[in-house]
Amino acid sequence: MLKMNNISKIYRTDLVETHALSGVNLTIEEGEFIAVTGPSGSGKTTFLNITGLLETFEEGQYILDGEDVSQLQDKHLSRLRNEKIGFIFQGFNLISDLNLYDNIEVPLIFRGLSKQTRKQRIEESLELVGLGSRAQHYPAQLSGGQQQRVAIARALAGKPRFLLADEPTGNLDTMMARQVMELLQEINRQGTTLIMVTHDNELAQRAHRNIQILDGQLSDIAKSQLTDLAV
Amino acid sequence: MNDLIHLAWQGFKQKSKLTTLMVANLVIGITLLLTMSTIISQSGHSALSHKLEQLHHVSLNFMDAEFDRRHALRTPPMTYRDAQALTLAYKQGDIDLEGLSFSYTTSFVLDVADKSARPLDATSSAVDRAFFSMMQTPFIYGNVWDESMHDAAVIVLDKKANDHLFAGQNSVGNLVVINNQQLAVVGVIDLSNHTYRFQNISFSNRENDLAFVPLGYATNHNLPRVGYMPCMTKEESSRTGYRQYNMSGLKTAECGFIHTWAEVSPTQSEEQLGNLTLWLRNYTQQQNDQGRFTHTEPYYLQSLKLLHDTIYDFMDWERVYLNFAYLLFAITLVNTVGILLAKNQHRAKLVSLYRALGANRAYIIKIQVLELLISATLAILLGVVGAQLGLYVMYLLALYQMDYVGVAEQVQKLYSMDLFFALKAAGAIYLTILVAGLFPIIKASRIAPASQLRG
């Protein structure tokens, strides 16, 4: 359902060319839980941004759900992002001026769903993350873990095929991080493909499959190797 | 659309201090621009805008050879005998015109026979019957006097005089008193649309005619000649007498007091004007043999448009202020662009989030254009209120400059906002703000979302 063939991404300045990704080949099947690890600056986030259609690439082919996205225009890419992909960011990226209900409603508005459908989806997703009673609260009134759950609810409300999480527990304490991870695993068990970038090997071990990015090169690694890498 | 408005409203409320600064900045520019452009627009407005090229003020320059006219509004009115000669030529068909009208400026105290109202000091005109149709004076009650009544004791009142003397009721058939003579009211007209008293080319914005009496009646009853009445140097000493009582002397004197208006057909204007010019040239040449019309410009034929343009030329200060207003508005637009850029810099993360959540560039532009229109609407509404205050202040200043001798209602017309003009100006301002705001809006839509959403 997601296939990358020989994807390369180069950042250019006047003086230097940086190869963020070089010849990435990857296939991800529906329902997988992939953990992407690697040292800082290795190209993890670039990989996630390209996967989430937030960045373009110079070379290669990217097929998402049977559709070659390489040549698509902004309008089409935005629609795919809205309908098929859900984002979870390390810093939550909730809109502080909006309450939880309105925060979750934003991507549904972009999709053009009716008010009634939106209401139903928002209530369902808030219930799923255990914040059903707090729809009218504002992000500032919640703990970090709760805010990340709202971000997950926002991603889930659109019923995406892929959930892309960039260090989803990076800003959380251990207990909250565990709760958020359990929630993500549960969502994955229900069928949503989960691709998570993390530095944390313990979290990475929860994934079905581990991918390591090193100097822009991507490779599958066995779970047993994760501990060694951490050392 | 509701969702789009909702998101735009959210955007409008974000960074409220910057939004307030932007709106306040626009309000100042719009206030000044609307105030000055309204004054200029009203000053250029004519009650007979559709006849600007058809109505022509006719003058035969009987003055001394060294007479300095100074400008178009100091063109000498006609002497009695020249007016008689022109009338005769018109009646004999020597001149082909749509209409010809004679009038002079007078003044008297208007009273009512039963003393039910305070007497009114009325600036007025003695006019012929043709005057009303040529000047298209709108009658509220009654009509102009009959053709046979050119010297009868009848009067047409302006609405203001009728309001004062008859409490705004239909006064046709009632009697008013001038110099102990009773005159019957035959009609009431409304000159509230006439910003200027252009009929005697004074273009006064202080006051307008409050009553009109037949020219024949005025000369027979020696109603005074007021306003601009130049005389040849040899007649100067008698001028006071000609103004007040010596009508028989004035009829043969070289003193001009009769304003003459000729109306030409829109389809035959060139031909008719040529015909009239020829008559004026021949007449002045013929009179020149008798020692008259020694001035290098023996006659003037000036369109109403030319006279309005002359007034516009006098408005130097107002035009300077208007240019300043345009300049200030341009500065406020530049400020608006700067503030929008600053606001969007602060909101780059939000725009990036919208993009990540599925908004395409066009949608981001739509949200921000709508947000800008909300700001512009608010600024324009406040600007209109500000302009109303500005116009009121300018009106008070104008009254002060006139030492408070002007009729407040008349003066206020120049300082009143015309709804149609205000709508047109608002539309143009909307468009200008939108064009100015496009650069920051498009720039915001091109933010690379990935760079803003990390951490």
Contact B355 A97 (CB under 8 A): no
B330 and B413, same domain (yes or no): yes
- Asked whether residue B304 is assigned to any structural domain, the reply reads no
B277 and B342, same domain (yes or no): no
Confidence of residue A230 (pLDDT cuts 50, 70, 90): very low
Q: Which residues of A touch B361 (CB under 8 A)?
A: 74-75, 78
What are the residues facing A133 on neighbouring strands? none
Using alpha carbons only, what angle is made at residue B295 by residues B292 and B300, rounded to the nearest 5 degrees?
100
Residue finishing a domain among B266, B297, B328: B297
Q: Which residue has the tokens 């500065």?
A: B331
Contact A166 B10 (CB under 8 A): no
Enclosing domain of residue B176: 62-297
- Asked whether residue B202 is assigned to any structural domain, the reply reads yes
- Asked whether residue B51 is assigned to any structural domain, the reply reads no
B290 and B325, same domain (yes or no): no
Give 10-residue mean pLDDT values along chain B (455 residues): 85 87 93 90 81 94 92 93 95 93 95 89 94 92 93 94 94 94 95 84 85 95 92 91 90 94 93 95 92 93 92 82 89 91 87 91 92 93 94 90 74 84 89 90 85 73
Contact A78 B3 (CB under 8 A): no
Confidence of residue A117 (pLDDT cuts 50, 70, 90): very high
Q: What is the least distance, in Å, from the CA of A54 to any CA of chain B?
A: 6
B282 and B147, same domain (yes or no): yes
Q: Which residue of B2, B15, B347, B357 to mutate against A (max A Cβ within 10 Å)?
A: B357
* 3-state SS record for A101-141: HHHHHHHHHHHCCCHHHHHHHHHHHHHHCCCHHHCCCCHHH
B293 and B416, same domain (yes or no): no
B154 and B274, same domain (yes or no): yes
- Asked whether residue B78 is assigned to any structural domain, the reply reads yes
Contact A79 B7 (CB under 8 A): no
Q: What is the least distance, in Å, from the CA of B343 to any CA of chain A?
A: 15
pLDDT of A131: 85
Q: Which residues of B touch A87 (CB under 8 A)?
A: 356-357, 453
Residue A191 predicted with pLDDT over 50: yes
Select from B332, B322, B343 the least CA-distant residue to B26.
Answer: B332
**Alpha carbons B17 and B14: distance in angstroms, whole number:** 9
Q: Which domains does chain A have, with CATH numbers?
A: 31-56+71-230 (3.40.50.300)
Q: Which residues of B touch A117 (CB under 8 A)?
A: none
Report how many domains make up chain B. 2
Q: Which residues of B touch A74 (CB under 8 A)?
A: 360-361
B276 and B331, same domain (yes or no): no
**Alpha carbons B69 and B74: distance in angstroms, whole number:** 6
B284 and B417, same domain (yes or no): no
- Asked whether residue B306 is assigned to any structural domain, the reply reads no
- Asked whether residue B302 is assigned to any structural domain, the reply reads no
Q: CB distance from B351 to chain A under 8 Å? A: no
B20 and B68, same domain (yes or no): no
Q: Which two tokens stand for residue A129?
A: 């993350």
Q: What is the least distance, in Å, from the CA of B373 to any CA of chain A?
A: 21
Q: What is the least distance, in Å, from the CA of B448 to any CA of chain A?
A: 8
Q: CB distance from B442 to chain A under 8 Å? A: no
B30 and B67, same domain (yes or no): no
B291 and B386, same domain (yes or no): no
- Asked whether residue B308 is assigned to any structural domain, the reply reads no
Q: What is the pLDDT of residues A33-89, one digit of tens each?
A: 999 998 888 888 889 999 999 888 888 999 988 889 988 888 999 999 999 999 988
pLDDT of A231: 38
B389 and B328, same domain (yes or no): yes
List the single range of A21-25, A221-225, B72-76, B435-439 with lowest mean pLDDT. Answer: A221-225
- Asked whether residue B150 is assigned to any structural domain, the reply reads yes
Residue finishing a domain among B237, B265, B297: B297
Q: Which two tokens stand for residue A179?
A: 């709760």
